[in-house]
């Protein structure tokens, strides 16, 4: 794939993110975070990005080096990525389905 085609496809992905973010925000407000996040985390790499990326992101380069050297080469990284996605999907299962309601003090 040439540079132009690769750039075009990357821009399509970025455009989908730009247009889908407000739509998913509205759906999240209407149905709750869990109802929006769980389907995306169960079948894609979004779980790696939004789930446990902050927790394991700093250690990943070191873990990946160990995996490559001791667990079968470069192709074993895909298993590592899949495991991280599965873990983040399990974590999202425990997010409450309904958004929490604020308790308003009585005025008067």
- Give, rounded to a whole angstrom, the gap between the first and last alpha carbons of the chain: 69
Task: Supply 8's token pair.
Answer: 């075009």
Give me the pLDDT at residue 72, please. Answer: 78
Give me the pLDDT at residue 105, please. Answer: 65
Task: Give the pLDDT confidence of 2-19 residue by residue, as tens digits.
Answer: 888 988 988 888 888 888
DSSP character string of 33-56:
HHHHHHHHHHHSTHIIIIISHHHH
Residues 6+ apart with CB under 8 A from 34: 92, 93, 95, 96, 97
Task: Give the pLDDT confidence of 50-73 residue by residue, as tens digits.
Answer: 666 666 667 778 888 888 888 878
Q: Could you tell me which of 77, 95, 82, 104 has the C-alpha nearest to residue 28?
A: 95
Enter the pTM of the model: 0.41
């Amino acid at each position: 794939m040439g540079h132009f085609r690769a750039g075009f496809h990357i821009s399509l992905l970025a455009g989908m993110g730009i247009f889908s973010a407000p739509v998913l925000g509205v759906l999240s407000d209407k149905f709750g975070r869990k109802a929006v996040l769980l389907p995306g985390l169960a079948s894609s790499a979004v779980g790696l990005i939004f789930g446990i990326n902050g927790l394991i992101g700093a250690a990943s380069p070191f873990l990946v080096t160990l995996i490559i050297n001791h667990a079968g080469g470069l192709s074993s990284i895909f298993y590592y990525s899949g495991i991280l996605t599965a873990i983040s999907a399990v974590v999202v299962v425990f997010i409450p389905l309904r958004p929490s309601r604020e308790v308003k003090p009585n005025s008067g």
